[in-house]
Amino acid sequence: MHTGEGSMDPDESCIVRHFNQYYPLSAEDKSLLIRLEDSSTPIRAGTSLWEERDQAQEFCTLKRGWAFSYRELENGTRQILDIYLPGDIVGLREFAFSQRLAGVQMVEDGEICFFPHRNLFDIFQRSFTLTSILFAIASRQQVMLTERLVNLARRNARQKLAHFLLEMCQRIKQTQGDGCEIFRLPLSQEVLADLLGLSPVHVSRTFTALSEDGLIFRERHSVTIPDLEALKHEAGFDDRYLIENMRPLFEGMND
């Protein structure tokens, strides 16, 4: 793999910003991470990165654009499992498996950087910090999937949509470092329906109802949340599964 270290400013790297949320990185750690974003590949909206049951020999980092993972069901419907943002690692959960457990598709035009599973061993050998963060990221992805299950099974349509938008708001804020009262959401009603277990019509009606109550305003791919606390109350939103509430890495190691 072409390394090209130094070709990218670490402060501009999505994956470096992502990892820095867990623990401050050294210059050497940043250099190792930038290798994951080197040799990026442009990819068009709607393209599948891989499909279920494909051989799982690599993961990728999402350098630009949004993507989602999904399972195709026997009745021809689709369940979307995860939404991926720039800086996210895609396919990490399949590191121990020989076949893909879910497909991944691009939401919009973007760039990805494929990274063979075997190259993880370089990180394992060279950086205890990055290895620990990778385990933290895998743990967080699993907890987010658990929260998605609760959202699907036990919340009504208003709560489902409100909860998901609050989650995206927080994730975008964590990566971009800006406020999230207004953010870009490039997801169609069909994608939101397959994610939340609703019909596209129900998604549209729910947006309208929340807008009429002054909780959410949507214009094309822009979402505005005028009162975050009011929307959290509507959704019953508990942010314990987000990064801010994770136990600091390495806490107590030297006690």
At what angle are helices 157-176 and 228-235 packed, to 10 degrees? 130
Tokens 């499992």, residue located:
81
Q: Angle 32-33-38 (CA atoms, 0-180°, nearest 5)?
A: 100
At what angle are helices 200-212 and 189-196 packed, to 10 degrees? 100
| CA distances in angstroms from 247 to 26, 134, 140, 242, listed in the order given | 20, 14, 11, 11
Instruction: Over range 14-18, report the average pLDDT.
Output: 80
Q: Is the pLDDT of residue 71 over 80?
A: yes
pLDDT value at residue 180: 72
For residues 159, 162, 167 and 172, what is the CA-based torsion angle, rounded to 10 degrees?
170
CATH class, 155-245 region? mainly alpha
Rg (CA), the chain: 19
Alpha carbon distance 94, 179 (integer Å): 33
DSSP string, 41-79: EEE-TT-EEE-TTSB--EEEEEEES-EEEEEE-TTS-EE
- pLDDT single digits (tens) 173-196: 877 666 678 999 999 999 999 999
| CA distances in angstroms from 35 to 2, 3, 7, 28, 116, listed in the order given | 8, 5, 10, 11, 12
Residues 180, 232: contact at Cβ < 8 Å? no
Q: Is the pLDDT of residue 50 over 70?
A: yes
The domain ranges of the chain are 10-146, 155-245
Please, which pLDDT band fits residue 200 given cuts at 50, 70 and 90? very high
- pLDDT single digits (tens) 114-150: 888 887 888 899 999 999 999 888 888 888 888 888 8
Please, which pLDDT band fits residue 82 given cuts at 50, 70 and 90? very high
Instruction: Over range 33-62, report the average pLDDT.
Output: 88
Superfamily of domain 10-146: Jelly Rolls (2.60.120.10)
Q: Encoding tokens for residue 185? A: 């959401």
Point out the least confidently predicted range of 143-152, 153-162, 211-220, 229-238.
Answer: 143-152
Please, which pLDDT band fits residue 10 given cuts at 50, 70 and 90? low
Q: Encoding tokens for residue 102? A: 């879910």
Cα 170 versus chain centre, distance: 11
Counting beta carbons within 10 angstroms of the beta carbon of residue 47, is it exposed (0 to 12), middle (13 to 18) or buried (19 or more)?
middle
Alpha carbon distance 221, 183 (integer Å): 8
